[in-house]
Structure 1
Amino acid sequence: MKNVVLILFLLLFFSCQDNKEIESENFQPTINWNLNDVDAININENELKSSLEKIIYLDDLRSIGIIYNNQLIFEHYNIGDTTSKFPVYSITKSVLSAIFGQLIDQNIIEDEYDKIDKYLDLIRIKDPEIKTQIKIDNLLTMNSGIQDDTNYIIRNDPISYILDKDLLYQPGLGWNYSSAGTHVLSAVFSEITNQNAEDYAKEYLFGPLGITDFYWQADLNGLSNGGWGLSLRLRDMLKFGNLYVNKGKWDDSQLISRRWIEKSTSKISTFRSGSGAWSYLPDNESGYGYLWWVNSIANKNVFSALGYGGQYIILDDARKLVIAIASRESSTRNYRQRISNLVFNELITIFPKIDT
C-alpha cells in the first residue's frame, strides 16, 4: 500500500500541466497500464521523487514514461498527452533492425550476411567492385563505409545518390554513423519483401504490439526512410522497449527471436563515448550492435535506441526497466547531457534488479 501511495503522490506532484486525463489501456495484458494498481516495487521513495523532479522540470522535455517489471509506474507530459505522436528520429533505425530480425526468424532470408548486390543493382554505381562487398550486417552495425549524407531524402534517386559517393573505408574495416547507410538497408528490406518497411512493420511488429497510430516518412520514391522519420506515442515507445526487455516475447507470442534480440544489443563495435556527436552518452566504453547503442552502467550493459534532439528508449533487462523520453528537436546539448546523466547515472540505479 505504501508503494501505491508513492505512485499516486508522484502523479499528483507532477501533474501540473493541462493534459487529458491519463487513461488505462487494457488491450495488452503484457503491460499493466493502470497507474493506480502497482505492486510493491521496493525502491527508495525519496530518491525516485528527487530524480524524477529534476527530469520533468527540464525545459526541453516533452514526455517521459517508465515501465518496471512490466508495469507502467510513471508517465508525465510537459507537451501533449497519451494520444500525442512524437518524432523519434533515429529510433527508427532500431525498429528497422527489429523487422530485419523477423525476416530471419520467418526464414525469408537465411541470415544477415548476404551482400547487398544480391538485392540491389549496383552495375551503374561508381566503384561497384568495392560496394558489392557491403553486406547486410555492415549496414546493421554502421561499418559499411557509406557516408552520412542525409540529403538523400530530397533526391529523386536516393539509393544511387548514396552509393555513388566514395566509401570512407573498406566495408567492415571502420565505424561511422550513417543514416544514409540505413536507408540503403530499407531499400534492401523492400527488395526482399516486396513491400515497404512501414507496411511490413504494421503487420508483423506494430500490429501485434497494438501500435496503430504512427507515422513513417517516405522518400520521393515512396521508400520508407531508413534513417529517421517515425513518429510514435510515448506508450508505443514503451511497448517497443518492453518487447526487447522481455527478449522478443509479447503475451504468448515470440515476435522476435531471443537470439536476434541478444545479438542486436551486444557490443559488436566498440568505441569511447564522451566526445563527438554522441558526447552526451555515458563517458565510458560504448558499443554498437545491430542499430542499438550499448553502454556499461555498474558493470552491466544498458542498451538504447536514440534519436536526434534527445529521443530515448533506454533498456536495462537486468532490472526489466524501460525508460522512454521524447524531447524538443531543438533541445540544447546541455539538456541532452543533463538528462543523460540523470537517467544513466541516477534514475536507472534506483530500481532493484529483478531475479529471474
Structure 2
Amino acid sequence: MNQEKIAALEEIIHSRYSNTAGMIVLKNGETQYEGYFNGCTAASCINIFSVTKSIISILIGIAIERGAVQSVNQKVLDFFPDFPVENYNEGETTIRDITIRDLMTMTAPYKHQEEPYLEYFTRDDWVSTALELLGGPEKSGKFRYTPFIGPDILSGILVKATGQSVLDFAAEHLFAPLGITVKGNVTLENEEAHYAFMNARDVSGWVMDSKGIHAAGWGLTLTARDMAKIGQLYLDDGKWDGKQIVSAQWIAESTREHSRWEELNLPYGYLWWIADDNAFAAMGDSGNTIYVNREKELVIAIASLFKENTGDRMDFIKECVETMFA
C-alpha cells in the first residue's frame, strides 16, 4: 500500500477518530494494514462494548448446532421454568410468549420505556432483572434496541443449556480454536471500578454479575487481532484451519435482515447489523467494529477506547477504508 495513502488514512484517524486503539484490514485473509494508536499495541485488550452481542450470537449458533438449544424458536421460559410469572392484563405480552428469536432480533417487548441502568447495575442478578422486565403492553415483533438488559437473558440461557459459564463455553468452542485468549472473569463492585474497566486497555476478561453470569450486551475485552479473527471466521463461512467452528447456515441466517430499527433505517440480523446485501457488522460503543464484506472478501476490525458521544465507524469504513483496500 502506498505510504502516502497510509499516512492520509492515519491522519483521518488522528483527527476524526482520535479514540482509536487499533485497526486491522484483511483482504482474502491477508493483512493489508495493521496500526495502533494512543499508546496501544497488538496486545492491548479493549472493552468491545456491544460487539459482545455478536459474540453471544455466535455462541447461540454453536449451542444450537451442538443440540444444547433446540432452535431460535424455543421459548425463553423453557430455560427458566421456576421463574414466577406475574398476572398480566388481557392483551399484554407475557414472558410465556417470548422466544430466543425475539431476543436475538431485538423485537421483544419490555415494561420500561428506557432501560433502567441504575437498577440494572445495582442488582446482583442481571438475568432475573431482565426477566422481570420482559413483556408488557406491546407485542413482539417491533424493533426495540435494548443494549444491556435484553441480551443478558441469552447469557442465562447459554448457562442453563450448556451447564458451563458463558466464558468457559466460549473458550472451548470459539476462542481456543481461533487462538484467542480471554484470561478470566471481571467483577465490578462499584462505579469507580466500572469506569476504570471501561477505560482499561490491559484487562483480559469478561464482566460478570455476582451470580457468575457474564454480560451479553457489553463487557468482553478483545484485541484488534482477536476481532479480526472473528470477522475472518464469518467471512470464511465458519471455518478456521479446516475445522467448522460455527455452521455456515447459522452465519447466513444470523447476518440477514430479520428486523429493522425504523427510526434510523438500520436492518438487523441476530445481534449483527446488516450494512447491505453483501456486508454486515458487529458494532459497539465508542466505534468498536467488526466489519465483513463478502463480495470484496474484506474484514475490517477497529478497537476503540471509551469516549462519550462517539458515533459508529460505518461512514469511515465505507468512505475511507473500504475504497482504499477493496
| TM-score, normalised via structure 2 length | 0.83
Match of 1:81, SS state, is coil
Deviation at 1:331, TM superposition (A): 4.4
- Indicate if the aligned counterparts of 2:32 and 2:325 stay in contact, CA closer than 8 A: no
Paired residues in the alignment total 294
Aligned to 2:187: none
Which is greater in Rg?
Answer: 1
Percent identity over the alignment? 30
Match of 1:89, SS state, is coil
Aligned to 2:172: 203
- Give yes or no for the alignment of 1:314 onto 2:279: no
Aligned to 1:102: 62
1:319-339 deviation per Cα after TM superposition (whole angstroms, max 9, x unaligned)? 111111122212444xx36x4
- Indicate if the aligned counterparts of 2:143 and 2:260 stay in contact, CA closer than 8 A: no
Greater RCO between the two (CA within 8 Å, min separation 6)? 2
- Give yes or no for the alignment of 1:139 onto 2:109: no
Deviation at 1:53, TM superposition (A): 3.5
**Pick aligned residue for 1:236 from 203, 207, 226:** 226
Aligned to 1:40: none
1:187-220 deviation per Cα after TM superposition (whole angstroms, max 9, x unaligned)? 0111011111111000000000000144111012
Q: How does 1:74-85 map to 2 (within 5 A)?
A: 74-79=33-38, 80-85=40-45
Unpaired runs of 5+ in structure 1? 11-45, 275-284
Tell me the distance in 2 between the aligned counterparts of 1:257 and 1:217: 27
* Structure 2 CA distance for partners of 1:165 and 1:108, relative to 1, 3 Å: closer
- Runs of 4+ off more than 4 Å: 168-171
Unpaired runs of 5+ in structure 2? 183-203
Q: How does 1:247-286 map to 2 (within 5 A)?
A: 247-272=237-262, 274=264, 285-286=265-266
**Pick aligned residue for 2:132 from 164, 167, 186:** 164
* Structure 2 CA distance for partners of 1:292 and 1:127, relative to 1, 3 Å: farther
Tell me the distance in 1 between the aligned counterparts of 2:45 and 2:248: 29
- Indicate if the aligned counterparts of 1:88 and 1:308 stay in contact, CA closer than 8 A: yes
**Pick aligned residue for 1:112 from 64, 72, 78:** 72
**Pick aligned residue for 1:152 from 117, 120, 124:** 120
**Pick aligned residue for 2:205 from 185, 202, 215:** 215
Deviation at 1:98, TM superposition (A): 0.1
**Pick aligned residue for 1:93 from 20, 43, 53:** 53
Tell me the distance in 2 between the aligned counterparts of 1:308 and 1:90: 6
* Structure 2 CA distance for partners of 1:265 and 1:304, relative to 1, 3 Å: same
* Structure 2 CA distance for partners of 1:217 and 1:332, relative to 1, 3 Å: same
